[in-house]
Structure 1
Amino acid sequence: MTTTWSPDALGEGFEARRLDLADDDEGEVTATLVRLAPDPTLRPARVVLYVHGWSDYFFQTPLAHFWRAQGAAFYALDLRKSGRSLRPHQTPGYVDDLRTYDEEIGAALAVVRAELGPVARVMLMGHSTGGLVLSLWTARHPGAVSGLVLNSPWLELQGSSLARHLSAPAISRLARFNPKAALPNIDPGYYARTIDVATGGDWTVDDRWRPTPSFPVRAGWLSAIMVGHAAVARGLGIDVPVLVTMSDRTLISARWSEEMRSADVVLDVEAIARRAVQLGDVVTVVRVPGGMHDLTLSARPARERFYAELTRWLAAYGWS
């Protein structure tokens, strides 16, 4: 069951709608669908559904306006136990199987289809963990969407598959006996420092929904991520064009550096690039010089490069 649209925290032009999901062991579960309010005189034939990353929520308003300029309706999904959907009784961000998200993705697409009609072309867009979730979903639902855009998707653990093979058995064992055990938090807050306007970034974020350091990583959740990474490594066979974008370099360090404002300080971009070609038969890989982990939040030159490359890709596949 869904509720009706109401004004969203992002302010003018944005609306939110609760998606009621099946209860789990923590009780009531909801997700939240956000949209850039439509022009009532138009009914776009194209639509984008965006999914955020770990310990995050949708707040990238220029991204929504970019897609509207391309002639597409824009929706974003705050997943269960994340962002607008997080409730006080819940373990933030926790699931023990990434397929659990099929419920809210399906509910969101049902709303989209009801509003825009069954023939509207759907493009999915995911950032970081959201990119992994949507890659796996798209592979399991052939023919459901027209394309997939990934912004620094988390397709492999930092380093290589060797790190995953070595750590997976221990994480899996802990997940079986104590799935919600919190693992050591290794987030030093540097990525948040590159984003927040108070510390030299360009963006204002809600620290209730995007805290620093990030929400604790739980054993069961990390085990689910590793299962997803293993599936990507085997090859997903996605049947639609995929655009994979990322920074041109990674800079992960125990000490702060201003260079972190022009690099990915969260994921290993080399690992992303290696795994990208295993997503499907038609995959375009774009590396953005000076890009940060979320390319849409990068400094203006990198941000503009990202949007230019996305525009060119969309034109190639008849979306602009």
Structure 2
Amino acid sequence: MPVSWEPDVLGEGYEVATLTLAPDDEGELVASLVRYRPPTVEPQRPARAVLYVHGWSDYFFQTGLAEFWHARGVAFYALDLHKYGRSLRPYQTPGYTDDLQRYDQDLDAALDVVRTEIGPHGRVMLMGHSTGGLIGVLWANRHPGQVSGLVLNSPWLELQGSAIVRYASGPALAQLARFQPRTPLPNIDPGFYARSVEARFGGEWTIDEAWRPTPSFPVRAGWLRAITAGHATVARGLHIEHPILMLASARTVISPRWSEDMRAADSVLDVELLARRAVQLGSNVTVVRITGGMHDLVLSAPPVRARVYAEIDRWVSAYGWS
């Protein structure tokens, strides 16, 4: 699938292509594929690639992740899903979908481009963070043989509070989602995760506030119903054939009050639930817990993210990717 690459907002070496998708009831849909291709003396065509998918109310900006893979001779691509980040249009409900399977077209279009660029025999690894991890495992389960493996960064595999909360809230949520799917639910994001990450709050990273606002995009009934349906599918067990690496923080700190401990823990998801659900994804799952890791592990403090990258290195070496 030929595409037109343009300079990306991330600067030198980063390019973006717009992928046209089938429209929905809000009109035209696009996804945005970012690639990292810094200038080189001689043209290169790597035989391996990583496709990264972001989380909820987010977009791709993790340049260190792109540089990590590039340094290992792996072509790096990142996908801003439709209605997120670079793909969000003014007439759209940010981040909204009522069915996670709708993202299949985003992933399929992106992978067509990746395979065109690295060749039909190249190997592709899918990498997902948080909601992107949930979307990725569901896609991989439906599309066996399409990728060589998955790297999951704090994937959102279960609702906070466990399946009991999901079951208890299910009937009321289904009713609301059926008749008023775009109804915003009460926003419970206190902004603590943003405070731990963003430079304007004392963190390390500069964020585009239009693409990753604080508080996050409104959670809507139809979207939450799609998420809980995805969680229920994971809970029944998936059958992903390829190796999976699931990385998560060693602990969760979720509190109605700010704590400096949130800079060294997952302040968004219950990591114990993630670890328990991860082993239900397939027959070959490696779970690694990262002491001091934040929700997005590659945004953690420098020594912590160095450990994250070292664990990824060790895992990919074991499967012949180094």
Q: Same fold judged by TM-score > 0.5? A: yes
Structure-2 separation of matches of 1:72 and 1:159: 38
Q: CA deviation at 1:198?
A: 2.1
Aligned 8 A contact 1:33 1:77 in 2: yes
Q: Residues 86 and 2 (structure 1 numbering): CA distance in 2 closer, same or farther, change over 3 Å?
A: farther
Match of 1:118 in 2: 120
Q: Who is 2:34 aligned against?
A: 34
1:302, distance to aligned residue in structure 2 (A): 1.3
SS at match of 1:311: helix
1:116 deviation in Å?
1.3
* Aligned match of 1:22: 22
Same amino acid, percent of matched pairs: 68
Contact kept? 1:180, 1:219, Cα under 8 Å: yes
Deviations 1:241-277 (A, max 9, x none): 0000000000000111111100100000011011000
Corresponding position of 2:94: 92
TM-aligned CA deviation for residue 71 of structure 1: 1.3
Match 1:251 to one of 245, 250, 253: 253
Partner Cα distance (2:243, 2:169) in 1: 32
User: Which letter maps to 1:206?
Assistant: D
Residue type of the alignment partner of 1:151: N
Moved over 6 A (4+): none
1:53–1:128 CA contact under 8 A, matched in 2: yes
Distance 1:169 1:182 in 2: 17
User: 1:7–1:15: 8 Å Cα contact kept in structure 2?
Assistant: yes
Partner of 2:154: 152
Q: Within 5 Å, which residues of 2 pair with 1:214-233?
A: 214-233=216-235
Alignment of 1:1-320 (within 5 A): 3-37=3-37, 39=40, 41-320=43-322
Q: Please give the alpha-carbon distance, in whole angstroms, between the structure 2 residues aligned to 1:197 and 1:275.
A: 33
Let me know the Cα RMSD of the aligned residues: 1.0
- TM-score, normalization by structure 1: 0.98
Give the conservation status (yes or no) of the 8 Å contact 1:16–1:35.
yes
The AA in structure 2 aligned to 1:5 is W
Name structure 2 gaps, 5 residues minimum: none
Q: Report the residue type matching 1:167 in the other structure.
A: S
Letter in 1 for 2:254: I
Question: Does the Cα contact within 8 Å between 1:121 and 1:146 map onto a contact in 2?
Answer: yes
State whether residues 195 and 297 of structure 1, in contact with CA within 8 Å, keep that contact through their aligned partners in structure 2: yes
Q: Secondary structure at the match of 1:237?
A: coil
Q: What is the TM-score of this pair, normalised by structure 2?
A: 0.98
In structure 1, what is the Cα distance between the partners aligned to 2:57 and 2:287?
25
Alpha-carbon offset, residue 2 of structure 1: 6.3
Q: Kindly state the Cα deviation for residue 117 of structure 1 after the two structures are TM-superposed.
A: 1.0
The one-letter code sitting in structure 2 at the alignment partner of 1:77 is L
> Which letter does structure 1 place at the counterpart of 2:198?
D
CA distance in 1: counterparts of 2:232 and 2:83, whole angstroms: 24
Count of residue correspondences: 320
Give unpaired runs (5+ residues) of structure 1. none
User: Is contact 1:70–1:319 with CA below 8 Å preserved after alignment?
Assistant: no
Partners of 2:3 and 2:113 within 8 A in 1:
no
Shift of 1:37: 1.7
